A and B are shown apart, each in its own frame.
Chain A
Amino acid sequence: MSIPQPARGAAWFTALSGVAADDAAFRGPHGTVASVLVADTELGDRPARVLATRPDPHNRWPRARHGELGLDEGWALAAAVRQVVAADAAASDRRTVVVVVDSPSQAYGYREEALAIHQALAAAVDAYSAARLAGHPVVALVVGNGISGAFLAHGLQANRILVLDDSAVTVQVMSRASTARVTRRTVAELEHIAARVPATADDGATFATLGAVHAIVPVRSADAPGTADAEVARAAVAEAAADALRRPPDLSVRLRSAGATQRRAPSIEVRRRLAAAWSS
Chain B
Amino acid sequence: MSPVPARRDAVTELTARERATAVLDEGTFRELIDPFDLLTSPHLPLQGITAQSDDGAVVARGHIDGVPAVVLAIDGDFQGGGIGEINGAKIAGALELALVDAEAGRPIRPVLMLETGGIRLQEANLGLLAVAEIHAAIAALRRHVPVVGVITGKIGCYGGLGIAAGLCSDLIMTTEGRLALNGPEVVEQEAGVAELDASDRAAVWRYSGGRQRVDTGLADVLVADDTAVLRDAVQAVFRRGTKPDASCRSAQVELFAARLAAIDPDGVLDPAALPGLWSSVGSPGEERSA
Task: Tell which of B97, B124, B186, B249 touches A199, judged by Cβ atoms closer than 8 Å.
Answer: B124
Within 8 A of A (CB), among B154-170: 159-160, 162-167
Please tell me if B23 contacts chain A, counting CB pairs below 8 Å.
no
Listed stretches A42-50, A93-101, A173-181, A220-228; interface member: A173-181
Min CB distance B4 to A, Å, is 41
Q: How far is the CA of A123 from the CA of B261 in the complex (A)?
A: 16
B128 pairs with A156, CB closer than 8 A: yes
Please tell me if B22 contacts chain A, counting CB pairs below 8 Å.
no
Within 8 A of B (CB), among A116-163: 116-123, 125-127, 129-130, 133, 148-149, 151-153, 156-157
Interface centre among A62, A71, A115 (most CB of B within 10 A): A115
Task: Tell which of B125, B187, B269 touches A200, judged by Cβ atoms closer than 8 Å.
Answer: B125
Per-residue A-contact encoding for B86-128, CB less than 8 Å = 1, 0 else: 1011100110110000000000000000000001011111111
A123 pairs with B269, CB closer than 8 A: no
Per-residue A-contact encoding for B18-60, CB less than 8 Å = 1, 0 else: 0000000000001011000101001100110000000000010
Task: Tell which of B124, B139, B181 touches A121, judged by Cβ atoms closer than 8 Å.
Answer: B181
Q: How far is the CA of A251 from the CA of B93 in the complex (A)?
A: 12
Q: How far is the CA of A55 from the CA of B159 in the complex (A)?
A: 22
Q: Write out the residue numbers on chain A whose beta carbons fall within 8 Å of the beta carbon of B85.
A: 199, 264, 266-267
Closest to A119 in B: B166
Closest to B180 in A: A113
Within 8 A of B (CB), among A245-266: 250-251, 254, 264, 266
A152 pairs with B135, CB closer than 8 A: yes
Q: How far is the CA of A173 from the CA of B216 in the complex (A)?
A: 29
Query: Which secondary structure dominates where chain B touches chain A?
Result: helix
Query: Known contacts A29-B254, A126-B167, A251-B133; is A273 also within 8 Å of B269 by CB?
Result: no
Q: Write out the residue numbers on chain A whose beta carbons fall within 8 Å of the beta carbon of B190.
A: 108
Listed stretches A12-20, A72-80, A234-242; interface member: A72-80
Task: Tell which of A110, A171, A193 touches B191, judged by Cβ atoms closer than 8 Å.
Answer: A110
Task: Tell which of A75, A79, A122 touches B167, judged by Cβ atoms closer than 8 Å.
Answer: A122
Task: Tell which of A61, A118, A152 touches B165, judged by Cβ atoms closer than 8 Å.
Answer: A118
A119 pairs with B261, CB closer than 8 A: no
Within 8 A of A (CB), among B177-203: 179-182, 184, 186-187, 189-191, 195-196
Q: Write out the residue numbers on chain B whose beta carbons fall within 8 Å of the beta carbon of A110.
A: 187, 191, 195-196, 207, 269
Min CB distance B273 to A, Å, is 11
Within 8 A of A (CB), among B53-77: 59, 61
Closest to B264 in A: A60
Task: Tell which of B216, B249, B265 touches A61, judged by Cβ atoms closer than 8 Å.
Answer: B265
Closest to B261 in A: A30
B125 pairs with A173, CB closer than 8 A: yes
Min CB distance B87 to A, Å, is 9
A266 pairs with B123, CB closer than 8 A: no
Per-residue B-contact encoding for A1-45, CB less than 8 Å = 1, 0 else: 000000000000000000000000000111100000000000000
B93 pairs with A271, CB closer than 8 A: yes
Task: Tell which of A117, A153, A193 touches B47, judged by Cβ atoms closer than 8 Å.
Answer: A193
A113 pairs with B182, CB closer than 8 A: yes
Query: Known contacts A62-B265, A110-B187, A266-B89; is A123 also within 8 Å of B253 by CB?
Result: yes
Q: How far is the CA of A251 from the CA of B181 in the complex (A)?
A: 24
Given contacts A121-B181, A130-B251, A270-B90, 10 further A-B contacts (CB under 8 A): A79-B254, A79-B257, A116-B218, A118-B181, A151-B128, A156-B132, A201-B125, A210-B129, A212-B129, A274-B33
The 10 closest A-B pairs by CB, nearest first: A122-B166, A30-B261, A270-B89, A118-B162, A108-B190, A126-B250, A156-B132, A114-B207, A199-B126, A129-B139
What are 24 pairs between A and B in contact, CB < 8 Å?
A: A29-B258, A76-B257, A111-B269, A113-B187, A114-B208, A115-B274, A116-B166, A116-B256, A117-B181, A119-B250, A123-B249, A123-B256, A125-B250, A130-B251, A157-B132, A157-B135, A171-B128, A172-B125, A193-B46, A200-B123, A254-B133, A267-B85, A271-B93, A274-B33
